[in-house]
Amino acid sequence: MNKNIYLMLSVLFMVFVGFQCAQPASAVKIVDHGTHYFWLDNSKMKMVWKTYQYDNDFLKTKALIYYKYNNKGKYHLAWHEVITIAKVTKSTVKIRDWTDSDFVPPTTVDYKKTKLTAAQYYWRIYRSKMLY
């Protein structure tokens, strides 16, 4: 009987510790979303994106890029893109851009010197560049 009590208490303790270490799901929130239209060669393009903020030091943008050839017909999915901006040191943010496009390298990683948090960098600098 004592073995069962100790086993049950240790399992409950491990579950409690696990809940304390886990980040709550409500910590992730959508901070930006939208649709942007642009031209690329003969194709009308549409980018639809959502930006998720995990905390001030990490953001993730998921984008879908569609094309409409010669401005006729429906939009067709061209590629996906996932961009993460993370504060890695006091003075550096890391920008990782993954895509499944055939036109550009699949993943690029860039480091920018800045004192801004990842969230500040997104709003003040990166977002306007993303929307060219």
Is residue 95 very low, low, confident or very high in pLDDT (cuts 50, 70, 90)? very high
Which of 70-102 are b and which e, b meaning 16 or more Cβ less than 10 Å from the residue's Cβ?
Answer: eeeeebeebeebebbbbbeeeeebbbebebeee
Average pLDDT, integer, range 15-27: 61
pLDDT reported for residue 58: 97
pLDDT exceeds 60 at position 22: no
Dump pLDDT digits (tens) for 49-88.
999 999 999 999 999 999 998 778 899 999 999 999 999 9
Sequence ranges of the domains in the chain:
25-130
Q: Note the pTM of the prediction, 2 decimals.
A: 0.76
pLDDT exceeds 80 at position 91: yes
